[in-house]
Structure 1
């Protein structure tokens, strides 16, 4: 097959990879803030639940989590489509790692900022969202940038649960054409081209939010 034919065949899996990446990123972002703030909650039960979620997910393999959601849950009566299983596994994984970015960034804001809010008679909620979170969010961006690239690379694992993403298409092509070097060379370039605007977007947002701060 010509290079153009290989590219066209691989593009069939591009939509699946992009949908997985975007939806998993949204789920992971939400879970990161929920769990990250939960780790800092004044309620012990909330801290405990958040800690269990983070430690279990971080302490186990993404591949095992994916297999467990797709193959083990049906035994318990919960059957998810391959796409939903992939999004859930990737979202849960990125959310657990992202929660530590959220937690550490919030704790990095100088205590004097919180004390200033108390002096202004602000509530705990007002201090968090008007003073602490805007500063912490800027510190979170580099970590979230790295996390979203890791999530993109993690989408390659969904080919193991029959989702026809980029990696799945590459394996099918390789089995039928045996043009391994060319196929996986193109695949590397395609993943890079997806990751490049994501990286640039995070850097642009970081620069925009830090204008006038330093």
Structure 2
């Protein structure tokens, strides 16, 4: 166990890489989720079809397969990605597909009377979405989005297979150097747990802020 504790700088470097992957991947996933989720609520059948193709394709694709595709296969036809870019793209595209369904469902869940009120007030479609529909939908999106971000963080554990020195990669190095299997993986289990709890706390904070913005009374947590 002491050998594992002595190697804590390596674990911290790996944890920082995992946090970076989570942040970058989450930002990409959020952008894609909003774009294709809103596309799923569009009046145009063609726009809805584009959103559906994205969701069905990337939701059904394993993240690891996408990583191998970006990092090992595409360079064969002239498209090269750094390991970090390949990992972020893979994680973002996969989780963004799930997030798009969250966005679509949240927008659809806003009471129809709210939409009718914006029409009566002569709001443009952009004003309707920005000022009335989306703020209420965000309150519904946050809890499932929090779960998806944690899933993305846990999914990043496979990026060591494309040479990224994340937390799992550093743990394997420490295990090979010290022979300590049990305590090495106990250590990274705890670190992953701490990161997940930090992410969950940020989501809860965002939920409370959105509730206050909408004039709702935040539930005690």
TM-score under structure 2 length normalisation: 0.92
| CA distance, structure 2, for counterparts of residue 132 and residue 189 of structure 1 | 39
| CA distance, structure 2, for counterparts of residue 22 and residue 82 of structure 1 | 16
Cα shift at 1:192: 1.3
Q: 2:144 matched to which residue of 1?
A: 143
Cα shift at 1:27: 0.7
Residue correspondence of structure 1 range 94-109 to structure 2 within 5 A: 94-109=95-110
SS for the counterpart of 1:179 is: coil
SS for the counterpart of 2:61 is: coil
User: CA-to-partner distance for each residue in 1:50-86, whole Å, 9 max, x for gaps?
Assistant: 1111101111211111111111111221110111100
| CA distance, structure 1, for counterparts of residue 54 and residue 70 of structure 2 | 15
- Kept in 1: contact 2:70–2:86 (CA 8 A): yes
Q: Moved runs in structure 1, 4+ residues, more than 4 A?
A: none
Q: Structure 1: which 5+ residue stretches go unaligned?
A: none
Residue correspondence of structure 1 range 2-81 to structure 2 within 5 A: 2-81=3-82
Between 146-155 and 59-68, the greater mean CA deviation after superposition = 59-68
Q: 2:203 matched to which residue of 1?
A: 202
Residue correspondence of structure 1 range 80-159 to structure 2 within 5 A: 80-159=81-160
- Kept in 2: contact 1:6–1:183 (CA 8 A): no
- Kept in 1: contact 2:39–2:51 (CA 8 A): yes
TM-score under structure 1 length normalisation: 0.95
Between 5-14 and 104-113, the greater mean CA deviation after superposition = 5-14
Q: Structure 2: which 5+ residue stretches go unaligned?
A: none
How many aligned residue pairs are there?
214
Between 139-148 and 60-69, the greater mean CA deviation after superposition = 60-69
Between 58-67 and 78-87, the greater mean CA deviation after superposition = 58-67
Q: 1:164 matched to which residue of 2?
A: 165
Q: CA RMSD in A?
A: 1.3
